[in-house]
Structure 1
Amino acid sequence: MVKTVIADDNQSKSAEDRLFQHGIPAQVGLVIGQLNRSSDRGFVYDLIPTPPTDGGGPACSLKSEAAGKDDKKKGSKSGKPSAELPASLVVDNDWVAEHARQVSRMLLGGMNVVGIYLWASEATFKATSPAVLSQAIKGVAQAAPFTDNEFEERLLIHVSYSPRRWSCRVCNLASAGLRPCDFKTGKLLASLQAFRCTYNFEIRLPISQAGILGTITFKDLICRGIANLAKDLQSAKAFINGHLVTENVHTSSESPHDVQFLVPFNKHISTEACSSEEVVGLVVFSGAICAFAYLGPREPILQAISDLKSDIVSSLRSRLDIITDEAEEEVALSLDCYGEAGGDSLAEKSIHKLALQEVRKPCTLFFPRRIIVPWYAGIFICDYLQASETFEDVKDHCQEMMSMDGPIETTSVVDPETAQISVATRSFWDVVHKRSSDIVNDSKTNKNTIEREADAGKLERNNLNFLTAILVLLSAFLIGWAVVAFGPTTTAY
């Protein structure tokens, strides 16, 4: 249970100055930080404003109370007309949730979307129903879940300009209740320790006949591979700067720390158990992941190891989601341009949606590469670069989603993943046809072998009979010659 929330003082001051300079009456955005089940403290690293909607409107606005009969009666009893009642907040929950989904992909290990913030006057905030606020927080939690899905607390930070002050509440997702908590500021970002690693993996996933009949899609098989990788990481041993981590201690050496994971041999068998007769194909999921994690002050080192493992798994899932989103956008575009028929033909080309029995040729699906982008001094975020994109696209996306003020230098953007992550499969039909042709070819080969062996036997017997006859004739000739040459001589009288 979170009892105290500590925010970075520099980022809090910067966010407050930005809000006052804009002079807007209301704003909603995301809270970036870290919450742990094992700790009663929460960390807030920054506040990220939600950008305008596709229509150009704000994600949060004010709504004046309607002057109904009930309002008039209340106004007359309190001595205030209904027009003077403070306006309440209206939040575009779907848009804020989508912003949270996009931002969560760009955060490295140890950082999450931990809630929302609201910029409004004290009167407006109190006039807004707690149910409205809880609903917005729930939408963000569903769009950007934690690795620990059972942790059901998120933050609501209210930045008030009348009067000028900050307050923080903890929202319980199960009960939708809001309770106040202590809010402090301190040096956070400067005290974070960075952990990094490059994790190489290769997972072989057999395609069984049962899976084919069950119409498992390509995406389903990739998700299974990611789940298997997550299980492998659970039992992996960590080496930090060449030393095996055996206990939950605090580290004081300078960051970044280099981490290596050692997965026990055969600790977890990724492939399914099936006989050779059932396997009709094979999917190879392989590559190298560049992972990062940040450890807060006075946090144990095992927390960094856990966050680093989570970053590896979440990075793969984010890349799969990006491919899926792009394919769905292409299908939607084709429906708008060419009608339903054009959409169906393009949907068949979306490899992640294909059922395995529809894959006619060997194919390879490449995942987007992870690009490391500087955020603040010594702190990084990430984005994902597809084959059709450039570093300029990454910079524009970071500035839009993370509200980064200054320009991003191309030379500061790092492309660390040299080995590309890919999913390769052999065609189901090629494998099946090859097995059938192998059986036919084997039978033909066996038949030809038997015929050749039979012919060879006949030839060998014929040769033996011929040699026997020659030997008999030669023996008879030699015996006759010996009788004539060495027999008794007859004398005439």
Structure 2
Amino acid sequence: MGRTYLVEEAIGQYLSDLTTKLKPYVTGLLIGQCSPQRDYVIRAVRTPPKEEQKEDNVSPAKLASLDEEWITTHASQVSRMLPGGLSVLGVFIIATPELSKDSQNALRRLIFSVEKSLTKRRLWKPSEEEVSDRAALQICSATKKVVCRTYDVQDPKSSAKPADWKYQSALSASWLALGCTVNVNIHIPLLATSPNHDLEKNTKNGLNRWSKQIEDSVFLINGQVKDEDTELLEGQKKSKGSIQSSTQFSDVKVLTQLSQGSSRRSTATVQVCSGSINLKGAVKCRAYVHNNKPKVKEAIQALKRDIINTLSDRCEILFEDLIINEGPQKKNFKRQYHVLPQRLFVPVAGSSVMLSDYKFGDEAAGEIQERFVEMLDQAVQAEDIHVAEEMSTDFCSYFRQMKMRFPSHRKTNDGTAASLWTSWLQKYVVISLQK
């Protein structure tokens, strides 16, 4: 028996509307949540058209000309905008009857290509019991016939298996949210044998070690340690037909281990270093889980991955920004401070789930709105953008005046800037490079 996909009802209309947009086919991503019993699809997002396609609304005539790199890049960008618990569950294609024979082969290629791209970026490993099936949704633009199949992405030779595609209203209207603030203080040495300072590689290695600490941490849900195999809402009172509103959001505390314990031996390694990278600050994390008797381990796993992903994604965004502004070859580093982008959340209509994104201090709301339209095909009102890690307006202004966004050094006569900087470091995520 194949997997069952419960799908937000509004997605049916969205996919139907897409049949009139780009011809002869449209591709896109399916976003939602996996669970052992079934999968939940809460968003479908079309692949943004390239510049030449925007002008005439025409895709390449043959599916063999599909731009896999463009589609996988879109998937990587979208994955950054998903909070814990949400992921890319598969891909869809809406094609004319003439292309129906080639559609399934194209979907198979895309599923494995997208999964490979997303796996490269992850700093966590999937668990043994994790669902590895991904959806391949095929829709005929003429007959509107829907065919859903799955492929096991852990098996390169996997063949298609049939799956049920069922629409349901208000699917994610009462999903459960978990949130926490994690204080980060990561020190990453730069070995003297790496004279050119491969910052991105060294930072990722450091984050890899840190992610293992997060995996081994203890999570207190509303002040309690709960058995992983119990239901998340076990013991909580229910009102008639629904869970009380106070139980919809769970506050989580993350307790990291200070040492490995006396039972494990450890050895110290002395290495010659030419500098170091320091990540310091506080990050806001959030995860969502379905409301069909979710287990504690599902909720904790979703939040763990959000903690790891949000810091890793911000570092990636910063390095991309540095390459654009300063070029890929940068040597002779002195002490520098780089502010990682702040996290923000945007609501999804008809859902309790919020999507995520990141902004630098000088980005305007209009730029964020454009990004949501391009990446997630969602119009966002400026007043609906909720910045989770607020930065004071006064400090932003002072920060720009002092040119402290990417400074090589900082000097003050009265100590005011140093005082502001010290207090600011304790609130916001900063990456610093020292030599």
- Bin of the TM-score, shorter chain as denominator length: 0.7 to 0.9
Candidates 165, 173, 178, aligned match of 1:183: 165
> Pairwise mapping of residues 209-224 of structure 1 onto structure 2 (< 5 A)?
211-215=191-195, 216-224=197-205
What does the per-residue CA deviation read over 1:250-308, in whole Å, with 9 as the maximum and x for residues that have no partner?
Answer: 23352121111111221399x99344x84554432211111111101332121111111
What letter corresponds to residue 426 of structure 1 in structure 2?
Q
Distance 2:308 2:58 in 1: 33
The answer to whether structure 1 residue 287 and structure 2 residue 311 are counterparts is no
Residue 59 of structure 1 deviates from its aligned partner by: 9.5
Q: Is the 8 A contact 2:278 2:433 kept in 1?
A: yes
CA shift, 1:21, in A, is: 5.7
Question: Helix, strand or coil: the match of 1:389?
Answer: coil
Equivalent residue for 1:301, pick from 296, 301, 306: 296
Match of 1:323 in 2: 318
Residues in 1 aligned to 2:107 and 2:352: alpha-carbon distance in whole angstroms: 34
CA gap 1:278/1:373 in 2 versus in 1, 3 angstroms = same
By relative contact order (CA 8 Å, sep 6+), the higher-ranking structure is 2
Q: Given residue 295 of structure 1, which amino acid in structure 2 is its aligned partner?
A: V
Distance 1:348 1:148, change over 3 A: closer
C-alpha distance in 2 between matches for 1:114 and 1:280: 43
For 1:300, the aligned partner's letter is: K
Identify the residue that residue 148 of structure 2 maps to in structure 1: 168
> Secondary structure of the residue that 2:373 maps to in structure 1?
helix
Cα offset, 1:116, TM superposition? 0.8
Q: Tell me, in whole angstroms, the C-alpha distance in 2 between the residues paired with 1:265 and 1:26.
A: 54
Partner of 2:30: 31
- Residue type of the alignment partner of 1:313: I
Q: How far apart in 2 are the matches of 1:149 and 1:309?
A: 12
What's 2:47 paired with? Answer: 50
Q: Compute the RMSD of aligned alpha carbons.
A: 2.9
Q: Per the alignment, do residues 392 and 273 of structure 1 end up closer, same or farther by CA in structure 2, a change over 3 Å counting?
A: farther
After TM superposition, the score normalised by the length of structure 2 is 0.77
- Please tell me whether the aligned partners of residues 27 and 59 of structure 1 are also in contact (alpha carbons under 8 angstroms): no
- TM-score of the superposed pair, with normalisation by structure 1: 0.68
SS of the residue aligned with 1:164?
A: coil
1:159-196 superposed Cα distances (whole Å, 9 cap, x missing partner): 23432332211023311532211222224211311111
Change in Cα spacing, 1:272 to 1:92, as seen in structure 2 (3 Å) is farther
Matching residue within 240, 257, 260 for 1:264 = 257
2:369 and 2:71 mapped to 1: Cα distance? 21
Instruction: Give 2:434's aligned residue.
Output: 426
Per-residue deviation at 1:115?
A: 1.3
Aligned: 1:95 with 2:73? no
> Structure 1, residues 119-152: CA drift from partner, whole Å, max 9, x if none?
124x345321643321122222123337545864
C-alpha contact 1:32 1:47 (8 A) present in aligned 2: yes
Opposite residue 413 of structure 1, the aligned amino acid is I
For the pair 1:201 / 2:184, whether they are aligned, the reply is yes
Seen in structure 2, the aligned counterparts of structure 1 residues 16 and 55 have a Cα distance that, compared at 3 Å, is closer
For 2:84 and 2:172, how far apart are their aligned partners in 1? Answer: 14
Matched residue, 2:61: 63
SS at 1:51 equivalent: coil
User: What secondary structure, in the 3-state scheme, does the structure 1 residue paired with 2:309 have?
Assistant: helix
Rg comparison, structure with higher value: 1
> Deviation of residue 242 (structure 1)?
1.6
Per-residue CA deviations over 1:423-476 (Å, capped at 9, x if unaligned) read 22332xxxxxxxxxxxxxxxxxxxxxxxxxxxxxxxxxxxxxxxxxxxxxxxxx
Number of matched pairs: 371
Determine what percentage of the aligned residue pairs are the same residue. 23
Residues 41-62 of structure 1, C-alpha deviations (whole Å, 9 max, x = no match):
2221111111111333589846
Correspondence for 1:413 = 385
Structure 2 segments unaligned to the other structure (5+ residues): 237-246, 391-426
3-state SS in 2 of match to 1:128: helix
CA contact (8 A) 1:134 1:176 kept: no
In the TM superposition, 1:99-248 aligns within 5 A as 99-121=74-96, 123-128=97-102, 130-145=104-119, 147-148=124-125, 152-173=132-153, 174-186=156-168, 187-207=170-190, 211-215=191-195, 216-248=197-229
Q: 1:155 to 1:148 in 2, by over 3 A?
A: farther
In the aligned structure 1, how far is the partner of 2:60 from the partner of 2:432?
52
CA distance, structure 2, for counterparts of residue 214 and residue 161 of structure 1? 55
Shift of the 49–293 alpha-carbon distance from structure 1 to 2, 3 Å rule, reads: same
Distance 1:247 1:327, change over 3 A: closer
- In structure 2, C-alpha distance between the alignment counterparts of 1:250 and 1:260, rounded to whole Å: 19
- Judged with a 3 Å threshold, the aligned counterparts in structure 2 of structure 1 residues 60 and 178 are, in CA distance, closer, same or farther, namely farther
Distance (Å, rounded) in 2 between the aligned partners of 1:412 and 1:162: 37
Shift of 1:235: 1.3
1:305-346 deviation per Cα after TM superposition (whole angstroms, max 9, x unaligned)? 111110111111211221232334446xxxxxxxxxxxxxx4
- Counterpart of 1:26, as a letter, is Y
> Are the structure 2 counterparts of residues 163 and 206 from structure 1 closer, same or farther at C-alpha, using a change threshold of 3 Å?
closer
Q: Which moved more, 1:244-253 or 1:51-60?
A: 51-60
Asked if the contact 2:174–2:248 (Cα under 8 Å) also holds between the matched residues in 1, the reply is no
- State the partner residue of 1:385: 359
Q: Distance in 2 between matches of 1:148 and 1:59?
A: 40
Letter of the 2:3 partner, please give it: K
Instruction: Describe the superposition over 1:348-391 as per-residue Cα deviations: whole angstroms up to 9, x where unpaired.
Output: 44xxxx5xxx32x2222221111112222432111111133122
SS state of the match for residue 245, structure 1? coil
Task: Kindly indicate which of the two structures has a greater share of residues assigned to helix.
Answer: 1
